[in-house]
Amino acid sequence: MAEKSFKYVIVGGGVAAGYAAREFAKQGVKPGELAVISKEAVAPYERPALSKAYLFPEGTARLPGFHVCVGSGGERLLPEWYAEKGISLILSTEIVKADLSSKTLASAAGETFKYQILIIATGSTVIKLSDFGVQGADAKNIFYLREIDDADKLVEAIKAKKNLKAVVVGGGYIGLELSAALRVNNIDATMVYPEPWCMPRLFTAGIAAFYEGYYANKGVKIIKGTVAVGFGTNENGEVTDVKLKDGRVLEADIVVVGVGGKPLATLFKGQVEEEKGGIKTDAFFKTSVPDVYAVGDVATFPLKLYGELRRVEHVDHARKSAEQAVKAIFASEQGKSVDEYDYLPFFYSRAFDLSWQFYGDNVGETVLFGDSSPTSTTHKFGSYWIKDGKVVGAFLESGQDLLCFLGNKVILLDDFYIVCREESNGLILSFWVF
Ligand code: FDA
Ligand code: NAD
C-alpha cells in the first residue's frame, strides 16, 4: 500500500486533536502539511456530550451539533472545514504500530504514514471489569462509555425495551452522569461503588452528601461500600444480574460500568519516557523524543502551580494543552519561544438540573458554605480548600460564574463572595462569606 507523508501528524481524533487542528490553521499551516488520524469514524467532537445530552430522550444532541470547538464557544469544525484548510482527516484508521526512530506509523489496514513532527493525542481508554477477571464481565448489555460508538450502543439498548432495570458500577464521573441520564430516561437505576461516598477523588463527604441525597430523591438507588464480583447471564449471553461482594444480587437488563480510565500510551511503550502512567512532557508538551509531542489525557506534564508532574483527564486541559503544543511547534520553527504552560486545573460536570465547576487542587482543609440541603429548592453551595494558609481549590454547585484568583486575595463564587485577607507571608487571616 502507498506510503503517505506529512509534515505534521496528529494521532488521535478527539478533543485535543480537534483543538490542535484549529490552532494549526490559526498558525497558518499550509494545505497538505497536516493529517489527523483517528480510529473513530467521525471528525473530532466534544466528548463530554456523550454522557449528557447524547443520552437524553428530549433535547438530544447529535453530530454534527457538537463537533469541536463548540464546547468552548468556538467555531464548529465540520469535515468540510478540514477539507477547506487542506488538512487530511483520516478517519476509521487505527494506528497499530509506531516507530519513533524512523518517524513511521502503520495502520491496522496496512497503510504507512511518515511524519516530521508527531503529536500524540490518543487520550484514554476505559478500564474493563474483565481486566480484573470479574466473572461474566463480557456478557451482552454490559456497556462502557468512551467513544460515540459506545454511546450509540447504549442508546440502542435504552430504546430497545420498556421498564428496564439498570445497574451502574462505579461512583465517579461516569457513574454519576450515567445514573442521572438513565433516570432521565425513566429507567430504574442502582449505583454501586466501593467507597463511603461518591466521587471521592474530588468530593468531600459534605459535598457528596448533597449529591447522594439529590440522586436518591430522583429515584437513583445507591449501594456503597461494595463492588461487583460477577454477572449472571441468560441463554442469549445477555446480562441478567449483578453479584455484589457483600452477597447481594441485583437484577439488571443493562449494566453501565465506569470504574476509571487509563491513558493510551501502549503504542509508544519503550520508545518514549513515561511518568505516572502517561507520556512525560515538558511545559511545551514535548516528549523525551525529538519532534514528538503528547497532549490531552495521555500527557504527564509539569503543573507549574503545584511544582509537580501531573496528568489531567478533563476537557479544558485537552483543549489548552493542544493549543500550547501547536504554538510551541510554530514558535520553535521561527526560532522563537512561547511561555511555559501555566495551567490552573478546571473541571466540571452536569447531571439532572445540576451543574458544578471546580478550579485548583483539592488538598488541605475544606470549608463548605451555602445551602447544600438536597431537598432545598434553592440549593446553591460551594466549598473551598485551604493548604498552608492559602486557598488552593474552589468548588461551586448551581452558580453561574466561578472566578478564582487562587493564591490571591479574592475568590468570587457567583453571588457568594469569599474575601481572603492575606498577609505578606501568604497566610489568610479571615474569611467572610456573604
Ligand atoms: P480523547 O479521548 O478525546 O481522544 C482520543 C482520540 O484518539 C479518540 O478519537 C480515539 O479514538 C483516538 N485514538 C486512540 N488510539 C488511537 C490509535 N491507535 N489510532 C488512531 N486513533 C486513536 N471532561 C470534563 O472536563 N467535563 C466533562 O463533562 C467531561 N465529560 C466526559 C464524558 C465522557 C463520556 C468521557 C469519556 C470523558 C469526559 N470528560 C469530561 C473527559 C474529556 O472528554 C477528556 O479529558 C478529553 O476528551 C481528552 O481529550 P483527548 O483528545 O486527550 O482524548
Ligand atoms: P473515575 O475515576 O471518575 O471513577 C471510577 C469509580 O469507580 C470510582 O468511584 C472507583 O472507586 C469506582 N470503582 C473502581 N473499581 C470498582 C469496582 N470494581 N466496582 C465498583 N466501582 C469501582 O472514572 P470514570 O467515572 O470511569 O471516568 C472515566 C474517565 O472519563 C475519566 O478520565 C474521567 O475523567 C472521564 N470523565 C470525566 C467527566 C467529567 O469531567 N465531567 C465525565 C465523564 C467521564
Task: Render pLDDT for 388-402 as a digit per residue (tens, 0 to 9).
Answer: 777 778 888 987 655
296 alpha carbon to ligand 1 midpoint, in Å?
Answer: 8
Whether residue 14 has pLDDT greater than 80: yes
Whether residue 430 has pLDDT greater than 70: no
Q: Looking at residues 88-107, what average pLDDT do you find? A: 98
The residues lining ligand 2, judged by C-beta closer than 6 Å to any ligand atom, are: 51, 124, 169-175, 177, 192-195, 201, 227-228, 258-261, 313-314, 347, 349
Angle separating helix axes 205-217 and 173-184, nearest 10 degrees: 20
Beta strands, E only, 39-172: 88-90, 95-99, 104-107, 112-120, 124-126, 142-143, 165-169
Q: Output the DSSP codes for 12-73.
A: --SHHHHHHHHHHHHTTPPTTSEEEE-SSSS--B-GGGGGTGGG-SSS---TTTTBTTGGGT
Q: What percent of the chain has pLDDT over 70?
A: 91
Our answer on whether the CB atom of 145 is closer than 6 Å to any ligand 1 atom is yes
Residue 382 near residue 369, CB atoms below 8 Å:
yes
Whether residue 3 has pLDDT greater than 80: yes
Residue 68 near residue 36, CB atoms below 8 Å:
no
Tell me which amino acid residue 96 is.
V
Q: For residue 72, count other CB atoms closer than 10 A to its CB.
A: 13
What's this model's pTM, rounded to 2 decimal places? Answer: 0.95
Of ligand 2's atoms, which has the minimum distance to the CA of residue 146?
A: 30
Task: Render pLDDT for 246-278 as a digit per residue (tens, 0 to 9).
Answer: 999 999 999 999 999 999 999 999 999 999 999
More confident residue, 357 or 237: 237
Angle separating helix axes 15-26 and 315-333, nearest 10 degrees: 30
Q: What percent of the chain has pLDDT over 90?
A: 81
Closest-CA residue, ligand 2 atom 24, reads 260
The cell for 220 is 437513583
Tell me which amino acid residue 223 is.
I
The pLDDT value given to residue 422? 44
Residues 6+ apart with CB under 8 A from 360: 344, 345, 385, 391, 392, 393, 394, 404, 406
Distance CA 145, CA 324 (A): 28
281 alpha carbon to ligand 1 midpoint, in Å?
Answer: 19
Integer-rounded Cα Rg, in Å, for the chain is 23
Burial of 35 (0-12, 13-18, 19+ CB in 10 A): buried
Q: Looking at residues 17-38, what average pLDDT do you find? A: 98
Q: Looking at residues 277-302, what average pLDDT do you find? A: 98
The pLDDT value given to residue 413? 54
Distance CA 233, CA 194 (A): 23
> In the Cβ-directed half-sphere of 342, how many Cα atoms lie within 13 Å?
4
Q: Output the DSSP codes for 317-384.
A: HHHHHHHHHHHHHHHHHTT---PPP----EEEEEETTEEEEEEE---SEEEEEEE--TT-TT-EEEEE
Reported confidence tier of residue 425, pLDDT bands at 50, 70, 90: very low
**What is the average pLDDT value for the chain, to the nearest integer?**
92
Nearest ligand for residue 202 CA? 2
> In the Cβ-directed half-sphere of 248, how many Cα atoms lie within 13 Å?
13
175 alpha carbon to ligand 2 midpoint, in Å?
Answer: 7
314 alpha carbon to ligand 1 midpoint, in Å?
Answer: 8
Residues 6+ apart with CB under 8 A from 115: 5, 6, 7, 8, 9, 35, 103, 105
Residue 36 near residue 89, CB atoms below 8 Å:
yes
Burial of 290 (0-12, 13-18, 19+ CB in 10 A): exposed
Task: Render pLDDT for 299-345 as a digit per residue (tens, 0 to 9).
Answer: 999 998 889 999 999 999 999 999 999 999 999 999 999 999 999 88
> 180: helix, coil or strand?
helix
Reported confidence tier of residue 1, pLDDT bands at 50, 70, 90: low
154 alpha carbon to ligand 1 midpoint, in Å?
Answer: 18
Nearest ligand for residue 90 CA? 1
CA dihedral 200, 202, 204, 207 (to 10 degrees): -110
Task: Render pLDDT for 144-196 as a digit per residue (tens, 0 to 9).
Answer: 999 999 999 999 999 999 999 999 999 999 999 999 999 999 999 999 999 99
Task: Render pLDDT for 208-244 as a digit per residue (tens, 0 to 9).
Answer: 999 999 999 999 999 999 999 999 999 999 999 999 9
The pLDDT value given to residue 429? 37
Residue 299 near residue 286, CB atoms below 8 Å:
no
